Structure 1
Amino acid sequence: TSPSGALNLFNLYVALSRSHGQSQICLSRDFDENIFLKTHCNELLMEDDRLEGKNSQTCNWWKALSRSMEKSISR
């Protein structure tokens, strides 16, 4: 759970993604099942998209740099 003690979509995702099937999930207290029907904060989704774009730009830059280094070494 989060520092506030409340479940949110993020810590639910983390908990479920770390498990390897139903047998490894243990709920120690009741929770509101409607949490699974909530949507993510729009600002967080936009920031995630921005970071994905930056990651793509960085990967492309490194690939281009690597190609140019290979060309200069082979000369």
Structure 2
Amino acid sequence: MDSGTLYDITNLIDMCRNEPVLDRQLKILLVINAMLPLTKKLHIPSFLTNDYVTRALHEIDKALKSGY
């Protein structure tokens, strides 16, 4: 993953965390997930909560900081 993509994902994570509307958070999370390498893609359940989005963003952020 190049630094531009990493920067984009990091910005999207911040945008998603600051978005108060769950539907918009989900759309952003789906964009983030589409940008991840196949081995790091999330298996997103059909029923989503704010808590799931928060945990998913945390896991993605942690993976990015560890260098995948």
Q: Tell me if TM exceeds 0.5.
A: no
TM-score, normalization by structure 2:
0.28
Bigger Cα Rg = 1
TM-score, normalization by structure 1:
0.27
* Structure number with higher helix proportion: 2
Higher relative contact order (CA 8 A, sep 6+): 2
